Copies of this chain bind each other. A is one copy, B any other.
Amino acid sequence: MTGRRDPEGRRRAIVDAASALIAEVGVDNLTHRLVAARAQVPLGATTYYFATLDDLSRAALEHIAQTTVACLRSWAETIESSDDIAASLAELTTRYLADRPSALPETELYLAAIRRPELRPLSRLWFDGLVRLLSEHASPEAATAAAFLIDGAIIHSLSGDEPLDTGGLTAALRSLLSI
């Protein structure tokens, strides 16, 4: 796809492919071959741009974290212009979960961080950002608790089949944020 002479483009194509694959097969099942095939680059390219599979997966997880940060910015905007924060958050969470393929990578990052401490700063971007965002409208304890609640709901929804109960989530958030 990206012609032979476009190092930056190739790098990006590889990282994109790896990110998508992490959602599909899990970070532990990523392989050079899988990435090369998905990115439509020769096998050698994956090791040329990333010395190690570990490097490659880290780059992909960084990419995922950046997406997450972008997502947070969009949440911030929505909340800023909302007069019912709890309802807005519940709605944003529900919408976030509607697109499984885009919600999964972030969860993979969480899990990867459990066993790879070097990834923690990355995995904290989402949580800390969320807490900071909420802190502008509630006490620190309330913000942290609300973030726990949202993340718990997200992970459950991903590993279960039932959709989220937006109403219930709204009520819970409203209760928490007023601590």
Known: A113-B159, A160-B120. A172 touches B168 (CB 8 A): no
Query: Bound state CA distance, A172 and B146, in angstroms?
Result: 9
Apart from A107-B111, A148-B156, A151-B156: 15 A-B pairs, beta carbons within 8 A: A26-B111, A111-B159, A113-B159, A120-B159, A120-B161, A124-B160, A127-B156, A141-B172, A145-B172, A145-B175, A151-B152, A151-B155, A152-B152, A152-B155, A155-B155
Encode A97-133 as 1/0 by CB contact (under 8 A) with B: 0000000100100110111010010011001000000
A149 in the interface, Cβ–Cβ < 8 Å?
yes
Residue of B at shortest CB range from A147? B152
Q: Which residues of B contact A110 (CB under 8 A)?
A: 155, 159
Query: Bound state CA distance, A146 and B150, in angstroms?
Result: 11
Q: Specify which of B141, B149, B160, B169 is in contact with A165 (CB 8 Å cutoff).
A: B141
- What are 14 pairs between A and B in contact, CB < 8 Å? A24-B115, A26-B28, A110-B155, A127-B156, A144-B165, A145-B171, A145-B175, A148-B148, A148-B149, A148-B153, A151-B156, A152-B153, A172-B179, A175-B175
- How many chain copies does the complex carry? 4
Q: Which residues of B contact A169 (CB under 8 A)?
A: 145
Min C-beta distance of A31 to chain B, whole Å:
12
Near B by CB (< 8 A), chain A positions 49-81 give none
Chain B CB count within 10 A is highest, among A153, A169, A172, A178, for: A172
